[in-house]
């Protein structure tokens, strides 16, 4: 059994999709970020970065293993299940390149852009444009990679699972895919997979329906080492 500490975000969807694709037994444990659950000592012992997603794999050979950071979780689950990750050679090298590209480029650009679109509309125009341009650049990188390919690697893999949620939200971030036909085709292909649909639907009742209150904004944003320490 896998304990899956989760809140519905693109990074959470990555792991939910992988769990569904592999049919691994798991228990979803919501971590309410607006309430500050991510700063509780018991969660920090699993995810020292106080972010979702995180897991505890109770069926690992060496006993229960906590894993934090979405890319590391995808690698752990792929190696544990023997699925969706090339095992050797050039194919594995490319899988690691594109996985690290997602966690270091596409995800951070999309995440920062999402902040200015959803939580600071009309404010900080330079910052919003900076991240909008970088997100657009990353979409262009994927567009070139998908030329003549069904998936980012030769076969569907954790790399598609990692990148897809951050492309799913492109229109909501003000970046329709009209200029990226390969990306639009790939987005639809992945979206049609039943496990992907189940992963994205996981915990949909938890999704935010209204703007955050002032107290939630205080918890969600502008955290420092000191404030995290004091909350814990």
Sort residue 163 into left (φ over 0), alpha (ψ -120 to 50) or beta. Answer: alpha
Angle, vertex CA 82, rays to CA 90 and CA 86, nearest 5 = 10
The pLDDT value given to residue 214:
76
The enclosing domain of 192 has a CATH number of 1.20.1050.10
- Whether 232 is covered by a domain: the verdict is no
Q: In this predicted model, what pLDDT tens digit does every residue of 135-165 receive, in sequence order?
A: 999 999 999 999 999 999 999 999 999 999 9
pTM: 0.93
- Whether 164 is covered by a domain: the verdict is yes
Q: Residues with Cβ < 8 Å from 115, sequence gap 6 or more?
A: none
Query: How many domains does the chain contain in total?
Result: 2
Does the structure show a pLDDT above 80 at 126?
Answer: yes
Domain containing 98: what range?
89-197
Does the structure show a pLDDT above 80 at 191?
Answer: yes
- Whether 48 is covered by a domain: the verdict is yes
Does the structure show a pLDDT above 70 at 13?
Answer: yes
């Amino acid at each position: 059994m896998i304990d899956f500490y989760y809140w519905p975000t693109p990074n959470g969807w990555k792991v939910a999709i992988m769990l569904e694709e592999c049919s691994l037994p798991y228990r979803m444990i919501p971590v309410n970020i607006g309430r500050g659950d991510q700063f509780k000592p018991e969660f920090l012992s699993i995810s020292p970065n106080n972010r979702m997603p995180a897991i505890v794999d109770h069926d690992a050979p060496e006993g229960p293993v906590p894993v934090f950071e979405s890319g590391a979780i995808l690698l752990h689950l792929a190696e544990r299940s023997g699925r969706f990750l090339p095992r050797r050679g050039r194919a594995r090298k490319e899988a690691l390149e594109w996985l690290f590209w997602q966690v270091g480029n596409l995800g951070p650009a999309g995440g920062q852009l999402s902040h200015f679109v959803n939580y600071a509309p009309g404010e900080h125009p330079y910052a919003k444009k900076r991240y909008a341009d970088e997100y657009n650049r990353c979409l262009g990188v994927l567009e070139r990679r998908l030329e003549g390919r069904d998936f980012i690697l030769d076969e569907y893999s954790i790399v598609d699972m990692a990148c897809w949620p951050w492309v799913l939200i492109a229109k909501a971030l003000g970046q329709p895919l009209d200029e990226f036909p390969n990306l639009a085709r790939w987005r639809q292909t992945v979206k049609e997979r039943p496990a992907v649909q189940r992963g994205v639907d996981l915990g949909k009742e938890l999704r935010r329906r209204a703007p955050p209150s002032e107290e939630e904004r205080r918890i969600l944003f502008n955290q420092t080492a000191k404030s995290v320490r004091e909350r814990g």
